[in-house]
């Protein structure tokens, strides 16, 4: 399956249904992206091994570095509900990344990156990728390779690859 080429296009217009401080709050893609430079990364699921040990923690860790480069927000999207995403962010002590629940997979499907992992009991999931969005327009996407031989490749959607794309002169900071 080849992914849709979304570079140069607007992010899909969807509404994320979130629970914030005990209240339902709908968040539109306009609210997330309009007039902002945003790094979004998407992953298969909260509480899963690679997502919890590498993907989310490194973006959270490098958030101040991204901010120095003009990034207004870092958004993590997964096809999970708001309660799972909120619990995961709390479990991960993740205060520098905005987690967005794509419970119905609407955003992920509109991005052309909804995959079916029903064969292993996971249902519909997001393919792992990251992208740079400027004022709602997709500037760059790093899709994990589909032919890597891994069920869950993690080679190019990482925080270090994205930050080096934004600033090729960025000096690597060791992970804490």
- State the catalytic residues: 51
Beta carbons within 10 angstroms of residue 1's beta carbon? 8
Helix (H, G, I), strand (E, B) or coil at 141: strand
Helix (H, G, I), strand (E, B) or coil at 138: strand
Tokens (6 digits) for 153: 């490749």
Q: For the chain, give me the number of helices (H) and strands (E)?
A: 7, 9
Tokens (6 digits) for 123: 């249902």
Contact 60, 157 (CB under 8 A): no
Which residue reads 């989310």 in tokens?
56
Which residue reads 């979304």 in tokens?
6
Helix (H, G, I), strand (E, B) or coil at 87: helix
């Amino acid at each position: 399956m080849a992914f849709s080429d979304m570079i140069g296009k607007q992010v899909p217009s969807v509404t994320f249904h979130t629970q914030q401080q005990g209240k339902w709050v709908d968040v539109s893609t306009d609210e997330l992206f309009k007039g902002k430079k945003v790094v979004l990364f998407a992953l298969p699921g909260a509480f899963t091994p690679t997502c919890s040990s590498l993907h989310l923690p490194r973006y959270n860790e490098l958030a101040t570095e991204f901010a120095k480069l003009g990034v207004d927000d870092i958004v993590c999207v997964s096809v999970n509900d708001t309660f799972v995403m909120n619990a995961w962010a709390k479990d991960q002590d993740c205060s520098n990344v905005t987690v967005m629940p794509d419970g119905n997979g609407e955003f992920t499907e509109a991005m052309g990156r909804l995959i079916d992992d029903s064969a292993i009991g996971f249902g519909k999931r997001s393919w792992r990728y990251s992208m740079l969005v400027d004022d709602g327009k997709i500037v760059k996407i790093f899709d994990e390779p589909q032919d890597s031989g891994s069920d869950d490749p993690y080679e190019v959607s990482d925080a270090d690859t994205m930050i080096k794309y934004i600033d090729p002169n960025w000096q690597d900071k060791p992970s804490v």
